[in-house]
Amino acid sequence: MSSSVTARRYARALLMIGNEENRLEALTREVKAVGDVVRASDELTALLSNPVVSAEGRRAVMKEITAKLGLTPTTRNAILLLTDRRRGALIPEVADALQALNDEKAGKLQAEVTSAVPLSDAQYVRLGRVLEKLTGKSISLQRKIDPALIGGVVARIGDKVYDGSVRTRLDEIRQAALQS
């Protein structure tokens, strides 16, 4: 089973728990916080996915992280369950999937916006409004920077891509010139 399918399964379970406890937003934020910690550390990701590291060792590290983040017992137990089942390296994917499910439930769409340079807050707001008009839904923006774009913006909403990058335009011009 692929890691994204597994991550979505765990995210759906967490969504149900968050709904039952009436604290889905807080649960989503807490899982995202742990996901950000794991994502930010290659060493932690390696430790969580290394079969040589004992289950007790992985669990001890994650207990310390969850304690430092001040997580609620529900979130802590979910993170430790993932760790015990050798799925700790999937925590960032589970966090992303849970955020997407939470947004879907709230009628929001996640848009990943990649630009060559950081945009101003006003530009992000304007871009969000344009994407909301295109989709007819509320948009939550995730910001990324990729200097290879040269200029412009690429917005990805689910499997749909709106590409307004200079790199793509140059590729299109190059292809047209080669076909002439």
For residue 143, give the 3-state DSSP assignment.
strand
Residues in the chain: 180
Report pLDDT for 170: 87
pLDDT tens track, the chain, 180 positions: 578 899 999 999 999 999 999 999 999 999 999 999 999 999 999 999 999 999 999 999 999 999 999 999 999 999 999 999 999 999 999 999 999 899 888 888 889 999 999 999 999 999 999 999 988 889 988 899 999 888 889 999 988 999 988 888 888 899 989 987
The pTM of this model reads: 0.72
State the pLDDT at residue 180: 73
Give the domain extent around 45: 3-103
Strand order in the sheet with 152-157: 138-145, 108-115, 152-157, 160-165
Co-location of 129 and 54 in the same domain: no
The whole-number pLDDT of residue 4 equals: 84
DSSP 40-80: H-HHHHHHHH-TTS-HHHHHHHHHHHHHHHT--HHHHHHHH
d(CA 138, CA 62): 35
Number of structural domains found in the chain? 2
| Same structural domain, 76 and 8 | yes
Shared domain check, 96 and 21: yes
